[in-house]
Amino acid sequence: MIYLDNAATTRTKPQAVIDAVVQAMQTMGNSGRGAHDDALSASRIIYDTRVKLAALFGCDAPERVIFTSNSTEALNIAISGLFSPEDHVISTDCEHNSVLRPLYRHGNVSFVPADAQGQLDYSEFGKLLRPNTQAVVCTHASNLTGDLLDLERISAFCRENGLLFVVDASQTAGVIPIDMTQLGIDVLCFTGHKSLMGPQGTGGLCIAKGVELRPFKVGGTGVQTYAQEQPAEYPTRLEAGTLNSHGIAGLNAALNYINAIGMDTIRQKEIALAKRFYELVTGIDGVTVYGDFSSWDRAAIVTLNIRDLDSAQVSDYLSEYFGIATRPGGHCAPRLHQALGTVERGAVRFSFGWHNTEYDVDMAVRAIAEVARP
């Protein structure tokens, strides 16, 4: 199987990640709440992972790195914990349902529209401002097209208007540098199983100094047992219940792996593969590619359709006859599909990861040429 669905989850995990999870399952007991050796080994690894993530994302204190089971949970915590019903929020048409649905549930939200090429007009942000606008919540990269949003520009808009800035870094964490302090990000949500190459069931949010979130869930924390309220201090304020310390141990090993290779090296390889693929497929008659490829400052995603074929049909064909795994359909990005005009047939996404090779690219291109043949 040639796996080109890395934007959903990276399937080939570094052996060190697998080993770390197995070792954690053999050695960790109580996940960090207690003074016996097993609890201490869990709490050390959990704390060390907070330190590494804080360094990776420019979060100024490891205590404000909160673990969740994925970025969907992190985004729910951020959106439900920051806003009151009267607060208005600005978001964009480029979002994944894990941003859209919590915002639809919140209710008071406006979206910067994307055009038929999936691009945002940044002057629209100002037009959506209201006296009660509290924040901008947006993604770093579209999971459908791979296009990056201009975080610097949005951050400047937030600063000028005294707004909070919440970023969904699901598609970029681990492969594109993000410094939340430098970018003025108040809450950064990430997932562990995509470019961070960690296990599924890991993720979290990093919270800037002075940003207060109400707890999404409350319960046991191993501290302040006799208090009726959730502890006020991070991280326990937002971490009720037993943590996924086995997964966090795997994420720790994944961070070591990325740090040893260097994010830049990983990124260059993934982008070189995406570029090779893009240049070859755009030469095939009948292929339509979505998104902005005028710059390679983007995620390693190329999404396309072939002639008037349904994306599910194409993806099934690629899987059955060529052993190539891609992602068809709606990609949980309904507003962007609307903008691109691909609601009916969806689109086929090819996403490249650290473990892919030029051979994978060339096989995928051959398969597409075959499908596109009139």
Ligand X SMILES: Cc1ncc(COP(=O)(O)O)c(C=O)c1O
Q: For binding to ligand X (CB under 6 A), which residues are involved?
A: 8, 70-72, 96, 98, 139, 143, 168, 170-171, 191, 203
Pairing of strands 287-290, 109-112: unpaired
Cβ proximity to ligand X, 170 vs 303, nearer residue: 170
**Stretch (H or E) spanning 206:** strand 203-207
- 178 sits in the region (left: phi over 0; alpha: psi -120 to 50; else beta) called beta
At its nearest, how many Å lie between ligand X and the CB of residue 106? Answer: 17
The nearer residue to ligand X, 348 or 371, going by C-beta atoms, is 348
In the chain, helix, strand, coil percent, each to 5? 40, 15, 45
**What count of other Cβ atoms lies within 10 Å of the Cβ of residue 204?**
30
- CB nearer ligand X, residue 174 or residue 203: 203
Q: What residues have CB less than 8 Å from 262, skipping those under 6 apart?
A: none
Minimum Å distance from CB 57 to ligand X?
Answer: 16
Burial class (CB in 10 A: 0-12, 13-18, 19+), 359: exposed
Nearer to ligand X, 71 or 91 (CB): 71
Alpha-carbon span 340 to 119, nearest angstrom: 10
Closest separation between CB of residue 237 and ligand X, Å? 21
For 10, which DSSP code? -
Strands (E), 225-351: 287-290, 301-306, 324-325, 348-351
Q: Smallest distance from the beta carbon of 8 to ligand X, in angstroms?
A: 6
Q: Which is nearer to ligand X, 38 or 292 (CB)?
A: 292
**Residue with Cβ nearer ligand X (96 or 221):** 96
Using the minimum distance from each CB to ligand X, give the nearer residue, 95 or 186. Answer: 95
Nearest distance from residue 33's CB to ligand X, in Å? 26
Instruction: Name every residue whose Cβ is closer than 8 Å to that of residue 221 and which is 6 or more positions away in sequence.
Output: 230, 231, 236, 239, 240
CA-CA-CA-CA torsion for 195, 198, 203, 204, nearest 10 degrees?
-90
**Nearer to ligand X by C-beta: 70 or 92?**
70
The minimum distance between CB 169 and ligand X, in angstroms, equals: 8
Shortest reach from residue 130's CB to ligand X, in Å: 26
Q: Cβ of residue 138: shortest distance to ligand X, in angstroms?
A: 10
3-state secondary structure of 109: strand
Q: How far is Cα 195 from Cα 211, in angstroms, rounded to an integer? A: 27
Nearer to ligand X, 96 or 335 (CB): 96
Residue pair 96/75 in contact by the 8 Å Cβ criterion: no
Q: Least distance to ligand X from the beta carbon of 203, Å?
A: 6
- Joined tokens for residue 319: 């899987």
